[in-house]
Amino acid sequence: MAELQRIGVVGAGQMGAGIAHVSALAGYDVVVFDVSHERALQGIGGITANLDRQLAGGKITAGERDAALSRITAADGVGDLAEADLVIEAATEDEAVKRRIFAQVCDVLRPEALLATNTSSISITRLAASTDRPERFLGIHFMNPVPVMKLVELVRGIATADETYETARAYVARLGKAMTVSEDFPAFIVNRILMPMINEAIYTLYEGVGSVENIDASMRLGANHPMGPLQLADFIGLDTCLSIMQVLHDGLSDSKYRPCPLLVKYVEAGWLGRKTGRGFYDYRGETPVPTR
């Protein structure tokens, strides 16, 4: 089994930054690549703030924080991923975007290096087939926020080699995360169950059954969920939620996965949730205010 030392992360958004954060804390060298050096640096700025929060909360020491930060660099271009032993793609949930990234990355990656995707829903087998290394490709699906959430779902494509899977297991174990294994079907386990619930919450709002606040309070207090489903949708990103519903709808051809038209409308407006300052709540003031 290959020993990993250098991890490449593609996408410095909320997930890519989180993956870089936990990998660096576990002692891996990390290179973060995004559409620009500035975007990658912005991601590292977020990691710094989150490490500081962990330090303030007594979860890590100042030495661990500094060591982790010293291991993370922002890529100037895709060529900076050339030395990576494993590249984890955590870019926008869009198959065309991911395919373009894999083509770029495979061009510079050593033949023995592994490639993984953090996709929430897209077929691992199909993504793997678009690369030059389907046997060294798999899904490593982290949960948001990565430094806090315990679980990682591992998803093998039809061609994923045993050695690839074992190397990924060892990597996830070194991060101190728990693992589950999902077969390669649309949205895997967590999002197959979670996303239709969120979509149904949006239908509940769309049909006027309840207000934003009543829907969220109902599920927090009535089902003991730590966050209401609309709050959670904003946290995940409404574009990501819509993409996952579309993958479920297309992949399973069942009308029960039809994305709610209200979700489509929010995404069309660019109201993507926390990351854009507005979704089912408006986050631009002191406290979040429902947007309808």
Would you name the residues annotated as active-site residues? 120, 141, 153, 191
**Nearest approach, Cβ of residue 261 and ligand NAD (Å):** 21
Q: For residues 94 and 243, give the distance between their C-alpha atoms in angstroms, rounded to a whole number.
A: 7
Residues 6+ apart with CB under 8 A from 257: 196, 199, 245, 248, 249
Q: For residues 191 and 121, give the distance between their C-alpha atoms in angstroms, rounded to a whole number.
A: 7
Strand 29-33 to strand 72-74: parallel, antiparallel, or no bridges (unpaired)? parallel
Residue nearest to ligand NAD (CB): 13
Name the one range near ligand NAD by CB under 6 A: 106-114, 138-146, 173-181, 280-288.
138-146
**Nearest approach, Cβ of residue 267 and ligand NAD (Å):** 12
Q: For residues 236 and 18, give the distance between their C-alpha atoms in angstroms, rounded to a whole number.
A: 13
Q: For residues 19 and 21, give the distance between their C-alpha atoms in angstroms, rounded to a whole number.
A: 5
Site string for ligand NAD, 50-69 (x = CB under 6 A): --------------------
Residue 80 makes contact with ligand NAD by CB under 6 A: no
Site size toward ligand NAD (CB under 6 A) is 29
Site string for ligand NAD, 234-253 (x = CB under 6 A): --xx--x-------------
Nearer of residues 64 and 200 to ligand NAD, judged by Cβ: 200
Residue 119 makes contact with ligand NAD by CB under 6 A: yes
Name the one range near ligand NAD by CB under 6 A: 30-38, 60-68, 166-174, 251-259.
30-38
Q: For residues 62 and 279, give the distance between their C-alpha atoms in angstroms, rounded to a whole number.
A: 36
Site string for ligand NAD, 98-117 (x = CB under 6 A): --xx----------------
For CA atoms 254, 255, 260, 264, give the dihedral sign: positive
Nearer of residues 197 and 209 to ligand NAD, judged by Cβ: 197
Residue 275 makes contact with ligand NAD by CB under 6 A: yes
Residues 6+ apart with CB under 8 A from 207: none
Q: For residues 152 and 167, give the distance between their C-alpha atoms in angstroms, rounded to a whole number.
A: 14
Q: Which helix (H) or strand (E) holds 114?
A: strand 114-117
Residue choice 10, 72, 128, 205 for contact with ligand NAD (CB under 6 A):
10
Q: For residues 230 and 220, give the distance between their C-alpha atoms in angstroms, rounded to a whole number.
A: 11
Q: Which residues bind ligand NAD (CB under 6 A)?
A: 10-16, 33-35, 39, 90-93, 97, 100-101, 118-120, 141-144, 236-237, 240, 275
